[in-house]
Amino acid sequence: MHDVTGAFVAHRNLLFTVAYEMLGSAADAEDVLQETWLKWAGVEPGTVRDPRAYLVRITTRQALSHLRTLGRRKESYLGPWLPEPLLTTPDVAEDAELADSVSMAMLLVLETLTPTERAVFVLREVFDLAYDEIAGAVDKTPAAVRQIAHRARAHVAARRPRGVASVAETRRTVEAFRRAVETGDLRGLLDVLAPDVVLLTDGGGVVRAALEPVVGAERVAGVLARIAATTTLQPARVNGDPALIVRMDGAVDTVLAMRVEDGRVTGLYAVRNPEKLSHLERETALSR
């Protein structure tokens, strides 16, 4: 039992990352880990040659089941659905591939894949698993997995952000954005927002939020101008990228994640749904 527990603990961060990238939900990823542990604890000790591969296979199958359930929930979701933001450790930002794979922008691209395509893409492109390993996780032949991986890769390449900024450039842009919002500098805010910037707000029908995307620098600036007077903006590292945590009376009210290209904000993701803000008081360790 000690060896079983040790193997699970050793790979827990990896398994959580797999589940989170497939689901975009930390709460559901935690549920997947619970189910993975229950199945893993029932395995006869000594019968598994590669615990890591076996655990990833269990996690993937459980996540696929949750992903289909999540899909049904999203169909009735009020307004835009955004991934659950995570306060991440500094090492995530240092791993460029991992940071890109968990960014808000990339998780939203992954939302456009089918469940099986998403699983194959994540396992192959992010975690570099062999096709035969992935085949065992998604119940397909290795040849079929190759085809799915090719299709998913092309789909993501056509939709992923172009010219993504470095961490340093993103940090500078986010800081300029924060100063402009806090000081009510409308000109400075318009300078840092791309003309065709898009703001998505996720309130989940629980708190006030725009039910449709807000498009254009002037419209977005008008929305942002209303938040400065009653809130504080705290710089943070969210999903591997510099971001802002908006606090009202000391409590987390909103997470503002951003997509930065060529020194300007092209995408703003405002997560306000209280059910999605529980992972912002402590850092979450992610791993490849």
Between the alpha carbon of residue 175 and those of residues 58, 170, 179, 262, the distances in Å are 41, 8, 6, 15
Three-class DSSP category at 77: coil
Distance CA 197, CA 261 (A): 11
Written as six digits, the tokens of 66 are 């949750």
CA-CA distances (angstroms) from residue 288 to 17, 102, 128, 237? 7, 11, 9, 18
Q: Are 110 and 96 in contact (CB under 8 A)?
A: no
Tell me the CB-side half-sphere exposure of residue 30, using CA atoms within 13 A: 8
pTM of the full predicted structure? 0.93
The whole-angstrom separation of Cα 254 and Cα 97 is 26
- Return the number of other C-beta atoms located less than 10 Å from residue 2's C-beta: 7
pLDDT of residue 46: 75
What pLDDT was estimated at residue 2? 57
Show pLDDT as tens, one digit a residue, over the chain (288 residues): 558 888 999 999 999 999 999 999 999 999 999 999 999 998 887 788 899 999 999 999 999 999 988 888 888 899 999 999 999 998 998 888 899 999 999 999 999 999 999 999 999 999 999 999 999 999 999 999 999 999 999 999 998 877 667 888 989 999 999 999 988 888 999 999 999 999 999 999 999 999 999 999 999 999 888 776 678 899 999 999 999 999 988 899 999 999 999 899 999 999 999 999 988 888 999 998
Give me the phi and psi of 54, to 5 degrees please: -65, -45
How crowded is the C-beta side of 96, counted as CA atoms within 13 Å? Answer: 5
pLDDT of residue 142: 96
DSSP symbol at 279? T
User: How many Å from the N-terminal Cα to the C-terminal Cα in the chain?
Assistant: 25
Q: Are 199 and 220 in contact (CB under 8 A)?
A: yes
C-alpha–C-alpha distance, residues 72 and 214, integer Å: 25
